[in-house]
Amino acid sequence: MKKLIILLAFVIVAIAASAQTRGKVFTVASDTLIGNETVNFAIGGTWTNVYDHITITALCTQVGGTSDGTLAVYGSLDNTNWTFVNGVGAGVITASPKASITGADLNQITITDALVADWVISGSPYKYLRVAGVGTASDSTLISIKYMVK
């Protein structure tokens, strides 16, 4: 009986720990995209299918020059080989603002000054996620990212 009570207490603590991350807003360290460089922003750690949706928001602020380039979401199973997360066929991802989305993939967003970009990812098969910012020659933009797991 004592073992059963201890096991039950352990299960309750595990469920409570998982529930504490759901609905909480996390902040990723900001970075400045300067020139033709690529900056990667890791979203969370590893996912174990404890979520229904991940919402990612990026704020772009012009620091100097112009704000230009793109932001896109990538996924990986091993944190080494990254794949462009495409939502057209699978309905995995939606992004906004739709007016600044490039191509038909509903993912890659054109950076502008004061851009607030959002991605909602549902049912992703990836263990790891990241947002990649790719600049252009005259780009100088501060990128700040927050995300929430639901």
Could you give all domains of the chain from N- to C-terminal order, each with its CATH number? 24-149 (2.60.120.680)
Answer whether 0.95 is exceeded by the pTM.
no
Average pLDDT of the residues in 47-59: 75
> Which pair of structure tokens corresponds to residue 33?
């995209």
Q: How far apart are CA 64 and CA 67, in angstroms?
A: 8
Burial of 33 (0-12, 13-18, 19+ CB in 10 A): buried
Is residue 56 helix, strand or coil? strand
Contacting residues for 25 by C-beta, under 8 A, at least 6 apart: 146, 147, 148
What local confidence, expressed as pLDDT, does residue 30 receive?
Answer: 93
**How do residues 3-29 score in pLDDT, each as one tens digit?**
445 444 444 444 444 444 667 888 999
What local confidence, expressed as pLDDT, does residue 144 receive?
Answer: 95
DSSP letter at 101 equals B
**How do residues 107-149 score in pLDDT, each as one tens digit?**
778 888 888 888 888 777 788 889 999 888 888 899 999 998 8
